[in-house]
Structure formats: C-alpha cells, structure tokens
Structure 1
Amino acid sequence: MIPDPARLTLYGSFTSSSSYKPMLYLALARLPFSFRTVNLKHGVQKQPEYLAINRYGQVPALRHNGLTIVQSNVILDYLARTTGHFAGATAQDHWRAREWLSWEADNITNVAKVRHYSRFRQVDAAVMEYFRPLALAAVSFVDQALQGRQWLVGEAPSIADIGCWGRMVFMAEGGLDIAAWPNVQAWSHRLAALPGFALPYDLIPSKDREFDPCA
C-alpha cells in the first residue's frame, strides 16, 4: 500500500524518551498517525535507509505533507503549530512553552543521560558523578517552577509539559525517585489523568502500527 503523504508518520523506538515526547503529544491530541519502529539495538538508525530520513541517525523523525521533521522538540513545535493543540493560549504562553523546550534540551537531557548510563551503557563512575548532580538540579528546577502551579505555562497543559515530562518519564530507571520532588510528582499525576495519556512502554509499540484513536 502506498503511504498517504498527508498522514502523520512517526519513526521512533519504544525505549526512547525522545520518541515518547511526540508520541505522547499525538496520543493526547487524539490524532491518527502511523508509527514506524526503528530498532536501536540492532543499529537500524545508522542504516542508509533510515539515514535518508534522518541524517543524524537518531529517533524520532516525523513525516507529514511532504515534510520531514527531526529532533523531538522541533517536532513538538511543528505539531503544535500545525494542529493547534497544546500550543499555549496567549502569545506569551506560546513563546514561554518554547523557552521550556530549549531549556529542556540543555538540562533535563541530563536525566536521560543518567538513565542511559544506568541501563544501557556502563561508564566510569566519574561520568555518573558528573551527570547525576545536573539531573537532580534539572528536576529540582522543574519542581520549583511548579510550586503553586498546575502546569509549566499558563492554565492548561502545553508542549512545555509534554516535552519536559517526556524526557523525565524514565527517571526511575536512572535511580531518581520522583517522590523526592512532590510538585513534580503531583504534576505527573495531572498529566496521567489527561484523556489519551499512557506511559512509554504502554504507548510505544515495538513494531510498526497504525493509530486511529478517534476511529
């Protein structure tokens, strides 16, 4: 069957927090899409067929209406602009949400590194001693930002919440106990209560799949 170019097609991996972020967006927005799995364990991301889609050899990648968009936070921005969901209610909210995505890429990514070095790749203890305090500081910053607030931006969930939580979701696999940050824990419960929410291993398939949540 010839793929429909107008249909959203997401390439990703079920172990990847970067893949989870746009996957969660699509699930919460109740948008139909096609998922194409990229087996990172077997190095599919470095094979010529996939490098033709994403020259960085990483997941995720999104194809839609003749465009190919890569990098998870850029994909979130594209989806928000294209579909209108979770974009931010005001002009200030719009840009503040994107500020959070930029900050996430520099800071919460350390949570992902701690998880990666704990589960997938053994490194010298000095490496973990460097990244763990950065991860703790990032989660603590989010916890402080959520003091007295329901969401990171405005009065409703946005791509800021999806992008930041999507990277933090695997924190337990890096030995970070969410209970140490009560505001983050309460925020995660609010996200989990949203229609369409699911955790990565429940949401992201290990094989290609079509998602039609409104069917």
Structure 2
Amino acid sequence: MSSRLTIYGSFTSSSSYKPMLYLSLSRLPFSFRTVNLKKGVQNEPEHIARNRYGKVPVLQHEGLTIVNSNIILDYLARTTGHFEGANEQERWTAREWCAWEADAISNVAKVRHYSRFREVHPEVMAYFRPEAEAALTFIDKWLKGRQWLVGEQCTIADIACWGRMVFMAEGGLDINRWPNLLAWSERLKAMPGFALPYDLIPKKDQEFDPV
C-alpha cells in the first residue's frame, strides 16, 4: 500500500489536467503514469482493472483507487486540505460547481474534441457550440465583481472549471470574448505552481517532487 499519490492520465486529456493542476498548485509530490489513448491502452485489461469505464484519470493512494476527475479533486481537497473553501458552505458550493462543470463545461471539451480529434456532422457541432458558449457566458457573468468562483480564495471549483475549458481555443472559442473569464484565468496563471496542460502533463511516466 503506497502513501504516494499516483495519477494515471493522458497528455491530451483535460480530465487528467485537473487533478495534476491541483497537485502542482498544492506543491505536492506525486507520480504520473501515462495511459496512451491513441494506442487504446485505456481499454486494455490492466487499465480496466483500475477504471471499469476505460477512462482517465485514475488516482491511486493508500490502497484506494478513485476515478473521475472531479471526484478525485473532491478526494484531494478532503485529504490534503488545499483549495477546500474557508467554511462548510464554501466547501459544498465548490462541489456544486464541480457537478455543474461536468454537465455544462463538458460541452467546451466536446467542441474541442470534435474540432481537433474527431470530425462530426456540422449539425452536431451546431448543437454543442452554443451550449459551450452559454456555459462560458454563465461563468463570465458570475465572475463580474468576483475574484474566484467561491469565496475569496481559489478552490476546487476554479480548478475543475478551468481545467476543462483550458483547451477552449482548440475548439475555436476565443477567451477574449469573455473579459471576466479572461481576468480570472490570469489570476489562476499567476499562482505559484501553475502550468498549462502541455507544459504539465508528460508524454511518459514521470515523478513529480516539488522543492
């Protein structure tokens, strides 16, 4: 039973990015194990044994195996105490945002996926793009006059939402259209330990041991 946090993920996966960004911002040591989605490693028996859904990321820690990026964020916040929220209400509100993100901001990921990795009928994109734009507009309006999504500090709500929308430009969604969203993203980028996905997620197994 290992006490070291181990993330199984993929270089191009926004879902993998979210817990890795959490750990990087928290300056916590962890191990990364790559799951090559292009080669179908996610469907091989060894990975299915870790994640019955054949997805990434997977977190293994102290004998536990946890899947789904936002559930992993919840676990990490409870276990390490970082980005939890200042009180009970903020902690629950942050988790509400995580649930909303999985429903709404996931449309941003779909637009990016259909733009870069998989060509779909224009009518499919015509459905998902307005949904993605509506989600981004909702957050932009919420952030007017606010620094963070919940309370006065960054929480797992911010990490969950940013972690999915970080690839928005690859779907042709220009963050400059949403000025409050843009300012919020700059605050995130200014935090010690912040890194963009292609700078943070390696293409092969790696140990992360922040000084």
The answer, yes or no, to whether TM exceeds 0.5 is yes
Distance across 2 between alignment mates of 1:16 and 1:35: 13
Tell me, yes or no, if structure 1 residue 72 matches structure 2 residue 69.
yes
Q: Residue 132 of structure 1: SS of its match in structure 2?
A: helix
Distance across 2 between alignment mates of 1:14 and 1:191: 21
Match of 2:33 in 1: 36
Tell me, yes or no, if structure 1 residue 96 matches structure 2 residue 93.
yes
State how many pairs are aligned.
Answer: 211
Match of 1:105 in 2: 102
2:134 to 130, 133, 137: 137
Match of 2:17 in 1: 20
**Map of 1:56-205 to 2, 5 A cutoff?**
56-205=53-202
Q: Residue 6 of structure 2: SS of its match in structure 1?
A: strand
Distance across 2 between alignment mates of 1:45 and 1:127: 26
* Amino acid corresponding to residue 135 of structure 1 in structure 2: A
Identity value in percent: 74
1:45 to 38, 42, 46: 42
Q: Residue 207 of structure 1: SS of its match in structure 2?
A: coil
Match of 2:206 in 1: 209
Distance across 1 between alignment mates of 2:21 and 2:34: 15
Q: Residue 141 of structure 2: SS of its match in structure 1?
A: helix
Which ranges of 4 or more aligned residues in structure 1 deviate by more than 4 Å?
A: none
1:14 to partner: Cα distance? 1.1
Distance across 1 between alignment mates of 2:77 and 2:194: 17
Q: Residue 129 of structure 2: SS of its match in structure 1?
A: helix
- Root-mean-square deviation (CA, aligned residues, Å) is 0.6
Q: Residue 133 of structure 1: SS of its match in structure 2?
A: helix
Q: Structure 2-normalised TM-score?
A: 0.99
1:100 to partner: Cα distance? 0.1
Structure 2: segments with no counterpart, 5+ residues: none
* Amino acid corresponding to residue 161 of structure 1 in structure 2: D
Q: Structure 1-normalised TM-score?
A: 0.97
Q: Residue 50 of structure 2: SS of its match in structure 1?
A: coil
Structure 1: segments with no counterpart, 5+ residues: none
Distance across 1 between alignment mates of 2:11 and 2:28: 19
